[in-house]
A and B are shown apart, each in its own frame.
Chain A
């Protein structure tokens, strides 16, 4: 039987919210990947995006503001067989949790970051999020945004994410396909999702985006993939991705910017030091002998501490 990835909880996002398109894209991607209900875990932060796990019929953790990434890293490292998706907001990942966002690029644990990018803090009445343009004045603000914006695409590239993409919440077909590739990606992936907040962002509306977005894949020569066969093109592809990442304004690119399959994931790196880690990970490892006591012999394991 095919698992229904939608839970039966009433969704309380505002009508017209971009979150709905993201939620649907996630459930469709999981279904089309033929994943089982216990193969995937969703870990979110706080805010409207943070409610997503409750709307999914899989194990879900709605954590602390800004801490979805380290929580998810713990889940993945402890049980590397799991696919871990992180539906989290722009404030969550690039404001309060920006340090974790950068650190995760270095780790490349194998997480799928789904960045709900609407440029505002919706649940607290529309303050400027880190992705809002300098000088923009949305209706929730008392005066124009005094901060410059952070660019999720180029920040992710600089931080070391091995998969960087952008979707648009009103193009669920493209978003679903991006999510499928991201979830199957061995390292960590960032999927920046442009979405309107109909309640607080009266500038970056659905129409505003629709007039500007274009698809990278429409250019038939666009190939962001780096694998063991074309590693010599890695730098060039990174530079191209970065260049496209800087594009904003009249034309906004969506699609996959960068997909490097040659960088070993953190779990693979760990397996080098802890042999058997991947086949016998912390979550399912034996910690008790048949007698109910530790299966570790301290006289052997900690022999270096013995004096005779």
Chain B
């Protein structure tokens, strides 16, 4: 079983509740759901949708066409014309049918013009009926439901519109063939057992299932799988949980999409019970989360905390990260252990504030003036977000430098079922000392690996300055000390490269000798792993060089993989093929073919597969395929 679906409606109109219900209902029946949230920079009204995929095993990508499209407003019908294929069931309210495109004023003007052109080209009326006809030509099956009648027939009172999202999800579950008891259970969980609300919604579920069976749209019953305890997590959740587990006790942020959810999640879990391995309660603890006046304050305040010994970090997105540049340079110069989680969205400037992008890699590698060592890592799925957040804190403390953790918006808003959290996956070292050291050589040059012993404010007496400094931290402009301190700082990168396991830097997925080798980073990992399997079924051997660390860069490994590859295709969500540039810089190897996407929407399995085949059949030297899926 492999069901793809999209639920769309106005922002603030209960789309997330619908998805949550679908997630939980399938979870109850033992299935796995994977989804991505797409939304406008808007509080209420504009089109938002969740794209989901349900499978027995964990899905790791999304694809078009969808099997079911649930439209909670007319805009959804117009916006998703192209997401429909043979057999797609389109669920919508009968009352939408006569809605005109011209009345859908919250559809972006350019989008509306394009929709109109499509309908006109097929000589179809510019209304929902016309759009449904368009979808029918693509093989779609419209299923009109009188939303209001079904709901008012079921509930005692209250506005019917409040239940439309429950109705939409329940019909979807029925079409998927899921037993009603799972939908009822999901309702209980979603509405946290608020009795009255649960009762009313359960009635709507019942009515939805009845409607589906009497109209012959209910699917054949799905087999029920063993139920498992799992975490339902987003990338934001993963990073927040990883940080707290990784010993983070101080987080700063300035509100920005899609980063601030991470800080809110941490604030929700700010009060901690610290338990030792014998499960004996030790102490109360907590994470301090501070909303600052700007991102300059966010980075510098987090550094101030780090200087006293706290594990400390900040989370931001492109515009905020730009403001942090000077602070990051200080962290490099003064060897401050600090983690910056950089949620990438479509740039430049405010760009596409709520959409995906991977255009900050080169910036992350070069943020801040002057030359200083840093570590730049990237996560590609929700679990990696969690464990990488823990590792990022460890790197920051081991090597005493800024660590930039890249997460793309697509991943931040990906929801995934995570089977477990393994506390033994990553160690959390801590050094507690009590004696005070006077004139402490915080920047001792007496070190083989570039790492000087760390000292903390409030414990040791030493100084720090953004100026070049001597061993205790006083300003110096002495040419010899300058040389030695510069070399000491950069030595740490060599140490990190030698100490950090290869698999934390780059991984080769798939067979060694392949007809096609993909190179990627971030959230394309899942879709490309699916594409490799698709290609294998067609007799094509494919593999994936997946990059996780860009500084220090695993040059030798990357060289060894790419120099033997037959056909290399770089896959990224940007226009410059930034990772390919990093590879060239570090290895001299130029990748001539690329699949790129910069429209701000997530890459899907189908479009990647199509582009890969296109590249394989194209004999020209340089090929760039640009992907365009998504609304």
A-side residues, CB < 8 A to B, are 9, 37-38, 41, 43, 46, 51, 53-54, 57-64, 66-67, 69-79, 81-82, 99-100, 102-103, 270, 273-277, 280, 282-302, 304-308
Q: Mind listing 28 A-B residue pairs with CB under 8 Å?
A: A37-B438, A54-B475, A60-B463, A62-B467, A67-B300, A67-B327, A69-B297, A70-B296, A70-B297, A73-B297, A73-B304, A74-B252, A74-B302, A74-B305, A74-B307, A74-B312, A75-B308, A78-B306, A276-B285, A277-B286, A282-B287, A282-B312, A283-B308, A285-B285, A287-B428, A293-B428, A296-B272, A301-B272
Among residues of B, the one whose C-beta sits closest to the C-beta of A266 is B290
Residues of B within 8 A of A69 (CB): 297
Indicate whether A276 sits within 8 Å of B465 (C-beta atoms), given known contacts A73-B304, A282-B250, A302-B269.
no
Residues of A within 8 A of B308 (CB): 74-75, 78-79, 82, 282-283
Contact of B465 among A62, A275, A284 (CB under 8 A): A62
Indicate whether A81 sits within 8 Å of B458 (C-beta atoms), given known contacts A299-B421, A307-B417.
yes
Stretch at the interface among B90-98, B172-180, B228-236: B228-236
Task: Verify B304–A307 contact, CB threshold 8 A.
Answer: no
Among residues of B, the one whose C-beta sits closest to the C-beta of A300 is B273
Task: Tell me, yes or no, whether B193 is within 8 Å of chain A by CB.
Answer: no
Alpha-carbon distance between A277 and B432 when the two chains are bound, in angstroms: 18
Residues of B within 8 A of A77 (CB): 250, 288, 290, 301, 304-305
Among residues of B, the one whose C-beta sits closest to the C-beta of A60 is B463
Alpha-carbon distance between A79 and B237 when the two chains are bound, in angstroms: 27
Task: Tell me, yes or no, whether B436 is within 8 Å of chain A by CB.
Answer: yes
Residues of B within 8 A of A291 (CB): 276-277
Indicate whether A82 sits within 8 Å of B457 (C-beta atoms), given known contacts A100-B297, A274-B271, A275-B271.
yes
A76 to chain B, nearest CB (A): 8
Q: A70-B296, A79-B457, A276-B284 are in contact. List 6 more A-B contacts (CB 8 A).
A: A54-B463, A67-B300, A282-B310, A284-B432, A293-B426, A296-B423
A156 to chain B, nearest CB (A): 16
Indicate whether A287 sits within 8 Å of B27 (C-beta atoms), given known contacts A54-B463, A275-B271, A276-B284.
no
Indicate whether A288 sits within 8 Å of B428 (C-beta atoms), given known contacts A62-B475, A74-B302, A77-B290.
yes
Stretch at the interface among B39-47, B162-170, B241-249, B597-605: B241-249
Indicate whether A301 sits within 8 Å of B300 (C-beta atoms), given known contacts A62-B464, A103-B293, A288-B429.
no
A121 to chain B, nearest CB (A): 17
Task: Verify A37–B327 contact, CB threshold 8 A.
Answer: no
Total number of B residues with any Cβ neighbor in A under 8 Å: 89
Among residues of A, the one whose C-beta sits closest to the C-beta of B431 is A288
Among residues of B, the one whose C-beta sits closest to the C-beta of A74 is B304
Residues of B within 8 A of A276 (CB): 283-286
Residues of B within 8 A of A306 (CB): 229-232
Task: Tell me, yes or no, whether B488 is within 8 Å of chain A by CB.
Answer: no
Task: Tell me, yes or no, whether B136 is within 8 Å of chain A by CB.
Answer: no
Task: Verify A293–B285 contact, CB threshold 8 A.
Answer: no
Task: Verify A61–B423 contact, CB threshold 8 A.
Answer: no
Contact of A296 among B231, B244, B312, B462 (CB under 8 A): B244
Contact string, B360-373, partner A, CB cutoff 8 A, digits 1/0? Answer: 00000000000000
Contact of A289 among B276, B300, B459, B466 (CB under 8 A): B276
Contact string, B92-123, partner A, CB cutoff 8 A, digits 1/0? Answer: 00000000000000000000000000000000
Contact of A307 among B23, B272, B464 (CB under 8 A): B23
Alpha-carbon distance between A293 and B277 when the two chains are bound, in angstroms: 9
Residues of A within 8 A of B269 (CB): 301-302
Task: Verify A79–B275 contact, CB threshold 8 A.
Answer: no
Task: Verify B465–A54 contact, CB threshold 8 A.
Answer: yes
Residues of B within 8 A of A59 (CB): 457-458, 460-463
Indicate whether A308 sits within 8 Å of B227 (C-beta atoms), given known contacts A38-B459, A296-B272.
yes
Task: Verify B466–A298 contact, CB threshold 8 A.
Answer: no
Alpha-carbon distance between A41 and B459 when the two chains are bound, in angstroms: 10
For the complex of A and B, the 7 pairs showing the least CB-CB separation, nearest first, are A74-B304, A287-B247, A274-B286, A282-B249, A78-B305, A103-B293, A276-B284
Interface centre among A62, A66, A103 (most CB of B within 10 A): A62
Task: Tell me, yes or no, whether B309 is within 8 Å of chain A by CB.
Answer: yes
Residues of A within 8 A of B301 (CB): 70-71, 73-74, 77
Residues of A within 8 A of B249 (CB): 78, 282, 285, 287
Indicate whether A75 sits within 8 Å of B304 (C-beta atoms), given known contacts A37-B436, A62-B475.
yes
